[in-house]
Structure 1
Amino acid sequence: MIRSRVHISDLREHIGRTVTVRGWVNSLRLMSKVQFVIVRDNTGLVQVTHKRDDGPLEAQLEALTPESAIKITGRVVGAKVKLGGLEIIPEAVEVLNQAAVPLPIDEQTGIEHRLDWRFLDVRRRPAAQLMFAVQTTLEQGMREYAYAQGATEMHTPKLMGTASESGAEVFELGYFGRSAYLAQSPQFYKQMAISAGIEKVFEIGPVFRAEPSFTSRHATEFTGIDVELAWIDGVEDVMAFEEQMLAHAITKVTDTHGAAVREQYGVEITVPTTPFPRIPMAEAHDILRKSGWDPESVKEDLDPEGERRVGAHIQQATGHEFVFVTHYPVSIRPFYHMRPADDPSLTLSFDLLWRGLEITTGAQREHRYEVLLRQAAEKGMSPEPLRDYLDAFRYGCPPHGGLGMGLGRVLMVLLGLESIREATFLFRGPNRLTP
């Protein structure tokens, strides 16, 4: 008789019956009279209890090693054990793949070495498995909102013939005798889609940044969530879209995983109210000055400490974990950001901070061809490498704007993780290209 697999979380429905469980050996306690094997699948843990009898089953259990993949068939019984008050009395054991010993990592292993053995690290830690379940639900929630707004999901090229945006921080690679570049953003292609008549565009896909940054929030390859919206009245339309999308997605995560996140991470997820607070960059600088920073040290942009201080101030003043910082200076924004008519030294742009960490950059784009040419020239950029991009604005491209959000950073804040390394399956940084 072939028995179908039963997940450990469903064992209570099978008390008194014989079932087959598939999973990994979590731990072994091989006593003089009884053998205890804790088996783990992706739904939980169960104790397998076998009284020694000098039989073949005893020998099989004795030969097991931690993390071996096994199939155990046995009867489910109630028992006074911590693991759900159930145990399995085994009738047959099949070793599907014996794990080598000793294991290369344990509970005390530091993160860099754990990343060398990421498959084991994720397998052995329920919190890590939960993180990917949360990631899936978060993306699902964002897609749901975008679809409901009539957005089209696009898949743009990651190989480019010219360096995108400013040309800095891009990876160059050989391409049939010439150079190609890995896209550091789908920005230009999103805008081409707008010019193609696709009114609302979004993409969830890989982004590459050749930044020699060794911080807890930077990666050389990450997943970006990008949105572009046509026929907007102003940058406010873009911010409203993002805050509603995030509120919808975070609500979905809370409903699906809130209790598990509380148990595994000790984090209470708060669903944000909308609208989020908005402050111009000039006001952010005032906040920093009033918090005790030397005004001479306040730069045009916000550094990580400045972001943390601004975020903390807004949370204390409003109770809100999010804040849009708007109207960044022209000097630190790309040439394609639109500038307000009443103050061309600024841009109609924003960053979104969540608990003091920047998770998004967005703006209204400049859609007028002649203005784009002028602004590119002001940045010292030649129009020729930008020709394919600029051509998209010569034949009636509508007003539009969009945003780019880092999925790893969102997960970092959502789950209270210390590093983006923990919010990524296989992290890529300046010193890490493996596994």
Structure 2
Amino acid sequence: MSERVLVQQLQTRQDGPVSVSGWVETVRDQKKVQFVILRDETGAVQLVNPATRPSTGSGDGDANANADAAAQAALALTDTISNLATGTFLTVHGALKHDERVKLGGVEIKVGSLEIAAAALPETPIAADSGLDKRMDWRFLDLRQRRNNLVFRVQTTLEHAMRQYWIDRDYIEIHSPKLMASASESNAELFSLDYFEDKTAYLAQSPQFFKQMAQSAGFGKIFEIGDVYRADPSFTSRHATEYTSIDAEISWIDSHEDVATMQEELLQHAFQAVKDKHGAEIEELFGLEVVVPAIPFPRIPLAEAREIVAARGYEIPRADGDLDPEGERQISAHVQEAFGHEFVFITDYHPEIRAFYHMRDDETGLTKSYDLLYKGVEITTGAQREHRVDILEAQAREKGLDPEHLGFYLDFFRYGAPPHGGFGMGLARVLMLMLGESSIREVTFLFRGPTRLAP
């Protein structure tokens, strides 16, 4: 078997014999020549074959047998190419030739032979103008597009860069359980399932409690990239019932500012990695530039943000005092105009709109927490956590939570815990906004929502 060569390797390879494998993207079957665009996971290459058509003349009984066999083979190859369906997976063996006139990479392969691994049906169920729901039904076909392939290359680079940032700074990676005996934050938005011996288990909404447990365990600095689940019957472009959460927690902090500083450094490092590796291709396929954020990010207290939004002519309707989606867009527009920045930390939230475990400032009574907005959309909630068990219990009661139902969590703090804090960030939202997409479904490998469990 000939060694398989990836399409991206062809430009640096010398002319001569070569084998490539991929799927058929297009076929142009002309009278005298056939062209096939073959795509693999790294790019596309043009295949060319001089067409051999059936002869209309009478055969020569004395024709050379070898010549006749070659003609029959050429005729069979032409017929095979004529009948190739889009999406057919095959291997081609042929001769690589560099030719600057070839628009697709400046190389082409003259076909010697084809080996079909799996033929596709002649008509595909989706087209370039198919709607999002239809494309999600046939996601494996939708993902064959170069543009969609790039999404997940960007995702890989983004995650790797974040991991590298943390590992270089001696963080520990954890994998927290996704089956829970009780709620991880509240009793809302929980998926339940039958467990052994007539027990009920719940899918984790967040690794929050276990991130904090790692602080009590003396881990110091941890991160996790993993799935979380929210039984939220929302149909917006930025919500899902299962998504990937990027989480970090650090010990021995003075305030939530330490967490925010770590996160902005993390994002700057990760965005730079994406720009360095994929910036040109993102500009080509998505029509936008990846902007590496300058640090520090702007910081605006929530009360001031509300005043700025009101001055822009928008009254936030939420009774709890938090920003609604339009308020987030308005404050982000202000930050872009005033600071030329795509990110902004909104800080100093009232305890009523924050989790019970957020630490409160002794002077203001507001929480030591923030939301991070990117291009007008919230991607993160971060905070310093309350590590004093008596205050935790009191704040839980204020929220209507029974401390007895939080027993395992509160035990983390009964035997000592350092001052600590962290954040959770939605991976799909970051990708959606970075690439200028309109929905997280476009940047999620297989989306899960209230009405979608397949494929």
Contact 1:20 1:73 in 2 (8 A): yes
Structure 2 unaligned spans of 5+:
54-74
Deviation at 1:296, TM superposition (A): 6.7
Alignment match, 1:422: 442
Contact 2:316 2:327 in 1 (8 A): no
- Equivalents in 2 of 1:157, 1:290: separation in Å? 46
- Equivalents in 2 of 1:353, 1:61: separation in Å? 52
Deviation at 1:101, TM superposition (A): 2.1
Contact 2:428 2:440 in 1 (8 A): yes
Report SS of the residue matched to 1:136: helix
Alignment match, 2:426: 406
Report SS of the residue matched to 2:116: strand
- Equivalents in 1 of 2:355, 2:13: separation in Å? 61
Deviation at 1:139, TM superposition (A): 0.5
- Counterpart check, 1:21 vs 2:46: no
Alignment match, 2:135: 114
- Counterpart check, 1:353 vs 2:373: yes
TM superposition score normalised by structure 1: 0.97
Alignment match, 1:362: 382
Deviation at 1:16, TM superposition (A): 3.2
Deviation at 1:3, TM superposition (A): 1.6
Alignment of 1:61-76 (within 5 A): 61-76=81-96
Deviation at 1:298, TM superposition (A): 6.9
- Equivalents in 2 of 1:253, 1:375: separation in Å? 41
Contact 1:151 1:200 in 2 (8 A): yes
Name which of 276, 279, 283 aligns with 1:258.
279
Alignment of 1:229-248 (within 5 A): 229-248=250-269
Percent of pairs identical after alignment? 53
Deviation at 1:299, TM superposition (A): 4.8
- Equivalents in 2 of 1:315, 1:31: separation in Å? 53
Alignment match, 1:301: 322
- Equivalents in 2 of 1:82, 1:160: separation in Å? 55
Root mean square deviation of aligned Cα? 1.3
Deviation at 1:85, TM superposition (A): 3.0
TM superposition score normalised by structure 2: 0.93
Query: How far does the alpha carbon of each residue in 1:315-357 deviate from its partner, in whole angstroms, 9 at most, with x for none?
Result: 111111111000111111111111110122x211100001111
Deviation at 1:64, TM superposition (A): 1.2
Alignment match, 1:52: 51
- Equivalents in 1 of 2:246, 2:318: separation in Å? 33
Inter-CA distance 295–321: structure 2 relative to 1 (3 Å threshold): closer
- Counterpart check, 1:87 vs 2:108: yes
Alignment match, 2:152: 132
Q: Higher Cα Rg: structure 1 or 2?
A: 2
Inter-CA distance 295–109: structure 2 relative to 1 (3 Å threshold): closer
Alignment match, 2:63: none
Inter-CA distance 398–304: structure 2 relative to 1 (3 Å threshold): same
- Equivalents in 1 of 2:275, 2:15: separation in Å? 35
Report SS of the residue matched to 1:88: strand
Alignment match, 1:270: 291
Contact 1:272 1:320 in 2 (8 A): yes
Contact 2:314 2:327 in 1 (8 A): no
Inter-CA distance 413–194: structure 2 relative to 1 (3 Å threshold): same
Structure 1 unaligned spans of 5+:
none
- Counterpart check, 1:210 vs 2:209: no
Report SS of the residue matched to 2:232: coil
Report SS of the residue matched to 1:113: helix
Inter-CA distance 258–159: structure 2 relative to 1 (3 Å threshold): same
Name which of 169, 173, 180 aligns with 2:201.
180
Deviation at 1:15, TM superposition (A): 4.7
Query: How far does the alpha carbon of each residue in 1:158-213 deviate from its partner, in whole angstroms, 9 at most, with x for none?
Result: 00001121211111111111111000000000001100111011100001011111
Which amino acid in structure 2 is aligned with residue 72 of structure 1? V
Which amino acid in structure 1 is aligned with residue 80 of structure 2? Q
Farther-moved stretch of structure 1 (287-296 vs 302-311): 287-296
Query: How far does the alpha carbon of each residue in 1:242-297 deviate from its partner, in whole angstroms, 9 at most, with x for none?
Result: 00011111111111111111111111111111111111100011111111124776
Which amino acid in structure 2 is aligned with residue 305 of structure 1? E
- Equivalents in 2 of 1:295, 1:251: separation in Å? 35
Deviation at 1:46, TM superposition (A): 1.7
Report SS of the residue matched to 1:422: helix
Deviation at 1:137, TM superposition (A): 0.6
Contact 2:383 2:423 in 1 (8 A): yes
Inter-CA distance 295–162: structure 2 relative to 1 (3 Å threshold): closer
Contact 2:28 2:34 in 1 (8 A): yes
Alignment match, 1:386: 406
Deviation at 1:29, TM superposition (A): 1.4
Deviation at 1:63, TM superposition (A): 2.4
Contact 1:285 1:298 in 2 (8 A): no
